Amino acid sequence: MTPGNNDPSTEFHDLIIIGAGPAGLAAGIYAARDQQDVVLVEKLSPGGQVLNTDWVENYPGFPDGISGFELMDAMRRQADRFGLQILSREVQGVDFSGEVKALTLPDGKMTARSVIIATGAQPRKVGIEGEELLTGKGVSYCGTCDGPFYRDAEVGVIGGGDTAIEEALFLTRFASRVHVVHRRDQLRATKILQDRAFANEKIAFVWDTVPTRIIGEATVEELALQNVKTGLESAIKVEGVFVFVGTRPITEFLAGSVDLDDQKFIKVDRRQQTSVPGVFAAGDVTSETARQIAVAVGEGVTAVLSAEDYLSESIPG
Ligand code: NAP
């Protein structure tokens, strides 16, 4: 099959993988190398959220680090080498009620004996006035993508986790000042990132504070804040606001077909098995995962080995 231009409506496979981030590509590399009848379906280009990461320095095997783009490009090329078929389509719905699993695509259906869901997660919105209106006009969820627009400008970063601090550090390459607004007086980010941020003179911390409104006509002009301890309101003049308050899983298309946790992440067991036999899930879309590239890769591999066991034990219908 040629990637991206086939009519999928008549296709039936042993295994379909949904999503081409680290979990999906790792599963795809193993399945294609094992010469399984497998197709990977991805709505965007392969790579996932890692493509938005400037520099990855905790993925084993790269002592000097590697750019997010290069790492994912290498995984994609490795998948290509084993002939993994990647179909560019968005999966809009699923039917896991029978032995044969069906996926609804914009131009038809695909069916398979087993499925691995590796659709990952996307940035959460902070949900304040002005956020929606000014997205793309100063409000961003990706420092690596939009940082260069803020040369010598002041920007705000909302959040205190690994993503917020990594991205704040990246933004100091361009911005004159990066105001990190965090709702507590301690960061959630790992110590190595904290130490780097505290040592960076361009980063200013606004502790115990939540954003209340993003103000601007055509573009962002100000970020309104409130101290959660004193109730005092203030505002900082910024040209950009970068929101990093965690992620939400991409599971809407599943519409209740597998069990989810209260945050809508997919529940899996240690074999990456979901509540439906033959349907597995791996990576950031799953509940209680560590949300690391290396973990996603490991879960993708576990999922495909479990799927292969399932396929060898179940009789084709
Ligand atoms: P996260 O760890 O969930 O952190 C989200 C941050 O946003 C927290 O500091 C949280 O505050 C804050 N927050 C949440 N809701 C908020 C709200 N409504 N208003 C204001 N602040 C709010 O998310 P993340 O940083 O995106 O990381 C996600 C996962 O990926 C984590 O497991 C992380 O370790 C991992 N990750 C790892 C790396 C790496 O290894 N290099 C890089 C990036 C991400 P509280 O702290 O008060 O809860």
For residue 145, indicate whether it is catalytic.
Answer: yes
Q: What is the pTM of this model?
A: 0.91
CA separation for the pair 49, 162 (Å, rounded): 14
Residue 316's pLDDT is 63
**142, 183, 241: residue to mutate for ligand 1 pocket, most atoms within 8 A of CB:** 183
CA separation for the pair 12, 115 (Å, rounded): 12
Our CA angle for 75, 77, 79, nearest 5°, is: 70
How many Å lie between the centroid of ligand 1 and the Cα of residue 47? 21
Give the model confidence (pLDDT) of 263-312 as tens digits: 999 999 999 999 999 999 999 999 999 999 999 999 999 999 999 999 99
Of residues 54, 73, 80, 142, which has the active-site annotation?
Answer: 142
| Tokens coding 98 | 């029978």
Residue 3's pLDDT is 41
What is the per-residue DSSP string for 48-63? GGGGG-SEE-SSTT-T
Is 1 in contact with 85 (CB distance < 8 Å)? yes
For residue 146, indicate whether it is catalytic.
Answer: yes
How many Å lie between the centroid of ligand 1 and the Cα of residue 164? 7
Is 266 in contact with 103 (CB distance < 8 Å)? no
Atom of ligand 1 nearest to the CA of 293: 40
Residue 152's pLDDT is 98
Query: What does the DSSP 8-state code read for residue 273?
Result: B
Is 16 in contact with 115 (CB distance < 8 Å)? yes
**49, 245, 265, 285: residue to mutate for ligand 1 pocket, most atoms within 8 A of CB:** 245
Residue 2's pLDDT is 36
In angstroms, how far is CA 218 from the centroid of its own chain?
29
Q: Is the dihedral angle over the CA atoms 185, 188, 191, 195 positive or is it negative?
A: negative
Residue 1's pLDDT is 36
How many Å lie between the centroid of ligand 1 and the Cα of residue 5? 38
CA separation for the pair 123, 114 (Å, rounded): 29
* Nearby residues of 78 by Cβ (< 8 Å), 6 or more positions away: 25, 29
Of residues 107, 145, 259, 269, which has the active-site annotation?
Answer: 145
**292, 295, 299: residue to mutate for ligand 1 pocket, most atoms within 8 A of CB:** 292
How many Å lie between the centroid of ligand 1 and the Cα of residue 63? 25
CB-based pocket (< 6 A), ligand 1: 58, 126, 158-164, 166, 183-184, 188, 210, 244-247, 291-292
* Under-50 pLDDT residues of the chain: 1-5
Comparing CA positions, the residue from 121, 122, 116, 120 lying closest to residue 301 is 116
Element (H, E) at 16: strand 12-18
Give the model confidence (pLDDT) of 224-240 as tens digits: 999 999 999 999 999 99
Atom of ligand 1 nearest to the CA of 210: 20
How many Å lie between the centroid of ligand 1 and the Cα of residue 50? 15
